[in-house]
Structure 1
Amino acid sequence: MKVVVQVKLLPDVDAVAALRSTLHVVNEAACWVSGVAFERGVPREYELRKHTYAELKARGLGAQAAQHTIKKVRDAYTTLKANIRAGNLGRPGSKRRDKAESKPIAFRPEAAQPYDDRCLSWQLDRKAVSIWTTAGRLKGVRFACSADALRMLREHRKGESDLVERDGEFYLIATCDVPEAPLNDNPASFIGVDLGIANIATASTGYRAAGRGLNRHRKRQADLRRKLQAKGTKSAKRLLKKRSRKEARHTANINHIVSKTVVTTAERTGCGIALEDLTGIRDRVRLRKDQRTTVHSWSFHQLGQYIAYKAKRAGVPLVYVDPAYTSQQCSQCHHIDRKNRVDQATFACRSCGTVMHADDNASHNIARKGESVWTAGRESRVPATTTRVAQTWEASRQPAAPYPQARPFTAGTS
C-alpha cells in the first residue's frame, strides 16, 4: 500500500531563494501548458508534449522537470474530468461547473512539484538531499523528521516525491510502498464504530472519544476568524493567513489518535471493524441554519479514511454497513421506533425497556450488521463435494456390467 512521509527541509538563505524561484518558474510554466492544453481540447500527454516541451526547455526547465510539469497538467485535467463525471461540481449548467469548464486550470506559485530519483537524491545517513533547481543542483540540503519517518524512508521509499512550500517553509512529501499485513480472515467478532459530532467515535467495546474539546476548539477558531475579518487590517489578514490551517491540523491530529486507538484494539483482540457508509449524508439530511456550520465541519470522512488505511496496514478486516435505523433500533430486542431515541444521548426501547447511551446502542447495531456483512461476503469454507452430474459422468466411464443370462424355460416350473 502507498503511504506518504513528510520531511521538513532546512535550507540556508540562498537555497531558500533557489527553491522558491524554482517553484514559481515551474508553476508559471504549468499555467502556460494548461492554456495550451485547454486551447487544443486537452490532448493526450504525448501529443501535449510535442506542443510544449521545446518551450519549457527554453524557459530553463531541465528535461525531467519539463516532463513532470506536462504530466502534472495532464493529471490535473484528468482529475477535473473525473470530478465532473462524478457530479462533484454540480449538474450541467450549474454556475460552479460552468466556471470550472470555461477556463484553463491555474496553478498557485507555491503549488507542489513532483521530483523523481533523477532530480532528487536522498542521503539518509546524513539526513540531507540533493535537489534540482533552476539555479543549479543544491547539494547537502538538510531535512528534519521523526525516527519512524526516517525508518520508513530507509526501508520503503519508492517512486516520486513532491516539493511544496507552506507558510514560508519547504517540505518534501515522499511516497513509500509499504507491504500489507496478512488479512485476518477469521475475526473473532466485529467492533462497531458509531461516528458522530457530540462524540467523535463510539466503539462497541466501550471506548468513546468525546467531541466536546474539538467542538470547543472549532468555535474558538471561528470566533477569532470573525473578529479578524471584521477588523480588516494588514496585521489581521496576516494573522488569518498564519492560522488558516491550524484548525485542520488540530482535527487531523485528533482523528489520528482516535483511529489508532480503534485499530489497535481490534488488532489486539483479533476482531474486525464495522463502519457506517455515510456517503452523501450531507445531501440527505435537512438542517437548520444554526446547524450547518457544525455538520459541514464534521470530519467523519477523514476519520474513516484513517481507520481504513491503519486497518489495512495491521491486517484488520474492515466492512461498511448500511446506517439505516442504527440509532432507532434496539440492540437487545431489535425493535425499531423513532421514539426509542429520547434525545441526543439517551436511548430507551419502547418494547423491552432497555435504557443505554444512544451512541453505545448504535455501535452494537453496527457491530451486528458488520458480522452479517462479513459472513455474507466471505468465501465458503465447505469442502467441494461430488455433484450428481459428476457422479453420472464417472459412472458412464465405467465398463458396462454383462447382462445375466436368462434361465431356460421349463414347463411346469414357476
Structure 2
Amino acid sequence: MSNKAVSYAGAGKVEVIDIDYPEFELKDGPGVNPANVGRRVDHGVILKVVASNICGSDQHMVRGRTTAPEGLVLGHEITGEVVEVGRDVEFIKKGQLCSVPFNIACGRCRNCKERKTGICLNVNPDRPGSAYGYVDMGGWVGGQAEYVLVPYADWNLLPFPDKDQAMEKVLDLTMLSDIFPTGFHGAVSAGVEVGSTVYIAGAGPVGLAAAMGAQLLGAAVVIVGDLNAERLKQARSFGCETVDVSQGNPKDQIEQLLGVPEVDCGIDAVGFEARGHGKNAETEQPATVLNSLMEITRAGGALGIPGLYVTGDPGAADEAAREGSLSLNFGLGFSKSHVFVTGQCPVMKYHRGLMQAILHDKAPIAKAVNATAIPLDDAPRGYADFDSGVAKKFVLDPHGMIRS
C-alpha cells in the first residue's frame, strides 16, 4: 500500500516522498536510534491519518536550526482512524477516530505513572521523552503522512466518543495532539486562575492556544505580545489585548493597559529563536523573552515556558547558544521568587478535559488559531507560508476527509 509523507530535505526545504507502509516493528531510517531498530510494536496500531498539523517546532528543524538529519519524516500532531490493530492491543478498536499525543509514552515507567508522559523513560534510548518525527526523539516515524504507526496504543490514544460528531469538529480536535494542551500547560504552569492578569510572549499558534487556555482558566486580562501585526490581529479576534514588541519594552505597554507595569503570570510561547524588542526587533537574542518575562512578572509569580529550547542549535548567533546556553538574568528571577516550569507538555494530563471543552462548545480553538486545511501535497507551500509569518495554523489533510 502506498504511503506518501513529508520529509526534511535540508535547510529551508521539505519534500513529499513515498515511504514504506507502517509495520509493527521499528525499521532503520533517518534519525532512528540504532537501539530502537528491530523493536517490536505489537502493542501498537496503524492509523489512517485524518489530520496532521504543521507545528512551529517543525519549523525549527526545517530552518536548519537543529541537528535533524535529511530524510527525517516530519509530523507529531496527529489525528487518525485505526485501520490495523497490533496483537497485544486490548481496548482500542479498528475504526475508532483518535487523537495522538505528540509525546510517545510507554505507560509503564516511573514517569508515566506520575503523569509525566513528556519524559517517558522507555521509548527513547538517547534521553527521557520522545515524539513522532522529531530530532533526537528516538526515530519514531512522523505522522505528516497517509499512514502512521502509534505504539502503546491502549495507553497513548484518546478515542473520540462519537466519530461523526468528532469529524464535524475535527479542525478543533486535531489541536489536542499538541498545541492546545501545550498552550494550556503554559497557562497552568504560570499559575493562571480566576482574575489573573497574564502576559504571553508570542502570537503563533501555541501562544494563541495559551491565550485561550488562560481564558478558560478565568483570567481577567490576557495580553499577547509579538512583532507580527497579522498575528496580533488574530489574538484580538477572540478578546485578547496585544503588545507590539517592535515598539519597545512590553513593560511600558502593559502599564498603559493595566495601570501597573507587571502581570501576575508570564508565558513564553516563543522559544530559542526569540528576537529583541524595539530597535533590536530584527536581531536574534534568544534570552530576550525569558529576561523580559522575569522583569514584568510580579514577585511571587510564575513563568510557564512551553516555548521550545534545544541543546543543539547549529544556526545560533554565538557559541554558547549553539549548546543551549543563554545569558539569563537568573538573579532577578531568584530575587522575585519566581517559579519556572519548562519542558514538553504532558499532553495526556489535559487532552481529555480539553476534548470535552471542544465537544461542548466551550473552546473554539480552530477559530482562535485560524486552522486551515490543505492537501498533503501542498505541505511545502504550507511550510513556506507559515515560515513567512501568516496567521494560520496549517492542517494537512492526506485523504481529503476534512475538506470533503
- What is the TM-score when the length of structure 2 is the normalising length? 0.20
Structure of greater relative contact order (alpha carbons < 8 Å, 6+ residues apart): 2
- What is the TM-score when the length of structure 1 is the normalising length? 0.20
